[in-house]
Amino acid sequence: MKRTILFLPLLVVPALLSRAEVKKIELPLEPAKFKEGKGAELAQAHCFTCHSVEYIATQPVMPRKFWEATVLKMRDKYAAPLPEDAVQPLIDYLTENYGKK
């Protein structure tokens, strides 16, 4: 009996300690979104699939030519599944919102 009482804290203390070690989980901030505007839903649908909006938002302000080349590169080199009728509206949207006209 005496032995049991002596051993009890050995069981209880680690149990309490491990309970105290509550993991804190930090949720990531709301993911960034494409700027609103005509065609934003296309970018949201077709560019978000492989990378975050930062890839686009952190590019220097570039002319239409750059955005055209980028969209075509995504399609031709990286196999982005872009429907033909989304290509021009996407270039328009990117130039309008992330480029210079």
| Residues lying near ligand HEC in the complex (CB under 6 A) | 43, 46-47, 49-51, 55-56, 59, 70-71, 73-74, 78-80, 90, 94
Contact 96, 69 (CB under 8 A): no
Rounded distance between C-alpha atoms, residue 92 and residue 86, angstroms = 10
| Residue 37 beta carbon to ligand HEC: minimum distance, rounded to whole angstroms | 14
Neighbours of 93 (CB within 10 A): 24
Q: CB of residue 58 vs ligand HEC: minimum separation in angstroms?
A: 8
Nearer to ligand HEC, 13 or 88 (CB): 88
29-63: string of b/e by CB count within 10 Å (b at 16+)? eeeeebeeeebeebbeebbeeeeebeebeeeeeee
Q: Which is nearer to ligand HEC, 56 or 92 (CB)?
A: 56
Of 90 and 92, which has the nearer Cβ to ligand HEC? 90
Could you tell me the smallest distance in angstroms from the CB atom of residue 30 to ligand HEC?
Answer: 21
